[in-house]
Chain A
Amino acid sequence: MTAGDVRAALVRAGRGVRWYLREWSGEARWDDHLRECAEHGHEPLTRREFERRRADAVERTPISRCC
């Protein structure tokens, strides 16, 4: 394995971790919104408004955390 291979593997792993964390934390939902709007030709919400709506939805659902 050359140094280039190692670097490529590390970059790939780093990208994977970043992807995972953004998906897990919900940050990636914003990207989904932008993409969906672009696909359907809608005007996207502002980030602030979008996040506020997501927070309001969480308000109505229980967050289950076990012992």
Chain B
Amino acid sequence: MSTTATRDDASGGGQPPGGAAGRRSSVRSVAIWVAVAAVGAVAWTVLALARGESISALWILFAALCSYAIAYRFYARFLTYRVLGTDDRRATPAERLHNGVDYDVTDRRVLFGHHFAAIAGAGPLVGPVLAAQMGYLPGTIWIVVGVIFAGAVQDLTVLFFSMRRNGKSLGQMVREEIGVVGGVAALIAVFAIMIIILAVLALIVVNALAESPWGVFSIALTIPIALFMGLYLRRLRPGRVLEATGIGVALLLLAIVGGGWIQDTGLGDALTLSKEWLVLALVVYGFVASVLPVWLLLTPRDYLSTFMKVGVIVLLALGLLISRPVLQAQAVTDFAREGTGPVFAGQLFPFVFITIACGALSGFHALISSGTTPKMVAKESQVRLIGYGGMLMESFVAISALIAACVIDQGLYFAMNSPAGATGGAVDTAATFVQGLGFDTSAQDLAAAAAAVQEPTLISRTGGAPTLAIGISQIFSDAFGGGLQAFWYHFAIMFEALFILTAVDAGTRVGRFMLQDSIGNVWKRFGDLSWRPANVIASAIVVGLWGSVLYIGVTDPLGGVNQLFPLFGIANQLLAAIALTLVTVLLIKHGKLRYAWVTGVPLVWDLVVTMTASWQKVFSDVPAIGYFAQAQRYRDAQDAGELLAPAQDQGQMDQVIFNSTLNGILQSFFAVLVLVVVANAVFVIARAIRAGGLPTTEEPPTPSELVEPAGLWATAEEKRALAEHDRLVGSGAGSRDGGRP
């Protein structure tokens, strides 16, 4: 074991499990992989070539699954053992610094579950739904190719490098490995981007719940249900999490059914809330959740939301297999070429690549892959399963969401996702508008679709969540029968809102921690996490910030999602640019210049996409795309004393001018911050290349005494090693995870 210490790290000499024996390929495994590749190739060919016929959505599913399998088996293996050079003889921080709190050796399969629950949220569900306006093909290709070569690579490499640094955060690593300037820029970028992300997530919830008493009722009930679970776990039956969650899920299902009963009663009228009221409710909720003890509200909600999330994903996969729906969307729509789509403006390049962030490449994951997860990894080579595999799983969720949006009637899709300014908000005007886009629909069809899910209207229910819910309800009622479309619709709405709210309250709390930590540098007392006044002030600032952006989005005459979603997508991808810059710098500093392309190529691609998108959003003279051109157009009209649709009075004209200017400034600000980090990194890279590598803050190797399998399933060799280890150490130490399979 002492060879670990003398190993030349720069050689990248990681060994796959089993060494030479593991490389000997059996005939069976070759046959299996040839079959997987063949199925994948057929599926991709059908998707690429079939036009104008009815194409089963399962082709998308199979194309994705086969691609993931091949990528995980070959590319992820290459990245893990060759590029990163994981070394299982080296103790991980979980083993070295074990304290049973944050540093804790965790079974790889359990940690996979934790990590997946932390990275997967509403993002992979919403982005693909919006991107469906360009057809199913661009989204499918980007989700699959993007995750294999960019998203999963980012998650894997950040996880690995953070693990080698005792689980340091992204901001810390940028400061220590790139420089103070880059570090400060990254810190500000992370905070600002988080505010935008929280606001856009909250906006999706507001759009899904506005004027929907059924939705509001069931979501509102999640709060008392969570409080009950919190008290149950604290006072009645401490620690019985599964029991409490079981009760919680049962109550939750009851709350969804109950929404249907109350919607036509007086209570239903009382719960028919406008968007403005919902903003207020969310802001108050976010603030209270951030200052309350976590055991009371956050932790139990988190259990509920994770169980629902995993349950729905499994159901959706099953539902797709059973109902085998046919794609209604075109492969590539005219909007992709012309950039005139009503859901969001701009052409396929670059806008498909920023609209679908989560599921293909999500910078936010870098915050989770550094910090929490790396402190729990048992063996270095498990980063392949947790980092790369976890992201493939999220990509699969995105693919399912894309399918759900592409199997519903496309007339309905555009009626739901075009802003109210375009559809006029009523079934007849919306039908005329959608027919003008070239889709077949009628006022009766649109009214019938709303009636089928017992919603007052589906017109301009933007944000992606209601569309996804329609898709899910259609797939579930086809697959499982029973005519429960309205129930499934509200079930889906509830499940999306539930974990968006969990992301919003957890995000607010993380923002509060970041703010307290930063201010704590100049005013020490403020950094004390248990000092109440600081908690309250920092929470209020964070909630106030995202609350204002949310309010601006909700009242935007041009449609908040249409205006803000590009900002959200670009922000998330810019965060990815920071993360990819960091890992590229680290590869080069470690003397692995010849492998720097694995993160360098996705970094360059991401920079080209985000900078082109930022440039267009800031400098384009097409008002629908350029924020400042938009503001100028309304200003000119105002000077000429005219009103421009969809603004209905001078106040709304002012609003459009203010919002567009603000969005433009934010957009430029984010892009500049990222460029600062990249510029700082270029200097470090140049120095590192000249010197053939530079010292880093990597922890020196310590021999590991743990025996753990590397992959999801233990190989025969690993099982023998485990048994041998247990025999030598004695059953006591080997059975830390009592009775695991």
- Given that A27-B239, A57-B101 are contacting pairs, would A66 and B365 also be in contact in the complex, using a CB cutoff of 8 Å? yes
For window 37-67 of A, CB contacts with B under 8 Å fall at 39, 47-48, 50-52, 55, 57-67
* A-side contacts of B412, CB under 8 Å: none
Which listed residue (B110, B122, B509) contacts A20, Cβ 8 A? B110
Say yes or no: is B545 at the interface (Cβ < 8 Å to chain A). no
Interface centre among B119, B238, B358, B572 (most CB of A within 10 A): B238
For window 6-49 of A, CB contacts with B under 8 Å fall at 12, 15-16, 19-32, 35, 39, 47-48
Q: Is the CB of B509 within 8 A of A63?
A: yes
* B-side contacts of A63, CB under 8 Å: 294, 298-299, 302, 506, 509-510
* B-side contacts of A19, CB under 8 Å: 737, 739-741
Distance of A65 from chain B, by nearest CB (Å) = 4
Which listed residue (B295, B364, B529) contacts A58, Cβ 8 A? B295
A-B contact count (CB 8 A): 118
- Given that A58-B294, A62-B510, A65-B118 are contacting pairs, would A24 and B503 also be in contact in the complex, using a CB cutoff of 8 Å? no
* Interchain CA distance A58-B114 in the complex, whole Å: 15
- Given that A55-B299, A57-B101 are contacting pairs, would A65 and B358 also be in contact in the complex, using a CB cutoff of 8 Å? no
Q: Is the CB of A35 within 8 A of B121?
A: no
Which listed residue (A16, A24, A50, A67) contacts B358, Cβ 8 A? A67
Which listed residue (A25, A57, A58, A62) contacts B242, Cβ 8 A? A25
Q: Is the CB of B372 within 8 A of A64?
A: yes
* Interchain CA distance A67-B738 in the complex, whole Å: 34
- Given that A60-B529, A64-B372, A67-B201 are contacting pairs, would A24 and B113 also be in contact in the complex, using a CB cutoff of 8 Å? yes
Q: Is the CB of B738 within 8 A of A32?
A: yes
* Interchain CA distance A20-B110 in the complex, whole Å: 7
For window 287-323 of B, CB contacts with A under 8 Å fall at 293-295, 298-299, 302-303
Q: Is the CB of B293 within 8 A of A59?
A: yes
* B-side contacts of A29, CB under 8 Å: 100
* A-side contacts of B109, CB under 8 Å: 20
Distance of A41 from chain B, by nearest CB (Å) = 13
* Interchain CA distance A55-B499 in the complex, whole Å: 21
* A-side contacts of B303, CB under 8 Å: 25
* Interchain CA distance A65-B122 in the complex, whole Å: 10
Q: Is the CB of B110 within 8 A of A23?
A: yes
Query: Size class of A's contact patch?
Result: 35 or more
Say yes or no: is B658 at the interface (Cβ < 8 Å to chain A). no
* Interchain CA distance A52-B293 in the complex, whole Å: 12
For window 233-256 of B, CB contacts with A under 8 Å fall at 233-234, 238-242, 245
* Interchain CA distance A12-B739 in the complex, whole Å: 11
Distance of A34 from chain B, by nearest CB (Å) = 10
For window 350-373 of B, CB contacts with A under 8 Å fall at 358, 362, 364-365, 367-368, 371-372
Distance of B275 from chain A, by nearest CB (Å) = 20
Distance of A59 from chain B, by nearest CB (Å) = 6
* B-side contacts of A35, CB under 8 Å: 735, 738
Interface centre among A24, A30, A47 (most CB of B within 10 A): A24
* A-side contacts of B368, CB under 8 Å: 64, 66
Q: Is the CB of B118 within 8 A of A66?
A: yes
* A-side contacts of B234, CB under 8 Å: 51-52, 55
For window 590-637 of B, CB contacts with A under 8 Å fall at none
Q: Is the CB of A65 within 8 A of B502?
A: yes
Q: Is the CB of B119 within 8 A of A32?
A: no
Q: Is the CB of B572 within 8 A of A21?
A: no
* A-side contacts of B738, CB under 8 Å: 28, 31-32, 35
Distance of A56 from chain B, by nearest CB (Å) = 9
Q: Is the CB of B294 within 8 A of A67?
A: no
Say yes or no: is B736 at the interface (Cβ < 8 Å to chain A). yes
* Interchain CA distance A66-B242 in the complex, whole Å: 23
* B-side contacts of A48, CB under 8 Å: 238
- With both beta carbons as reference points, the residue of chain B lying nearest to A58 in the complex is identified as B294
- With both beta carbons as reference points, the residue of chain A lying nearest to B104 in the complex is identified as A29
* B-side contacts of A15, CB under 8 Å: 739, 741
- With both beta carbons as reference points, the residue of chain A lying nearest to B295 in the complex is identified as A55
- With both beta carbons as reference points, the residue of chain A lying nearest to B198 in the complex is identified as A67
Q: Is the CB of B238 within 8 A of A52?
A: yes
* Interchain CA distance A31-B245 in the complex, whole Å: 19
Which listed residue (B302, B503, B741) contacts A16, Cβ 8 A? B741
Q: Is the CB of B239 within 8 A of A50?
A: yes
Q: Is the CB of A65 within 8 A of B302?
A: yes
A-B contact pairs, 13 of them (CB 8 A): A15-B741, A19-B740, A28-B738, A50-B238, A55-B299, A63-B509, A64-B367, A65-B121, A66-B365, A67-B123, A67-B364, A67-B503, A67-B572
The 8 closest A-B pairs by CB, nearest first: A67-B123, A65-B506, A25-B241, A51-B238, A51-B239, A55-B295, A62-B510, A23-B110
9 extra A-B contacts, CB within 8 A, seeds A27-B239, A66-B123? A16-B741, A20-B113, A28-B737, A30-B239, A48-B238, A50-B238, A60-B529, A63-B302, A65-B503
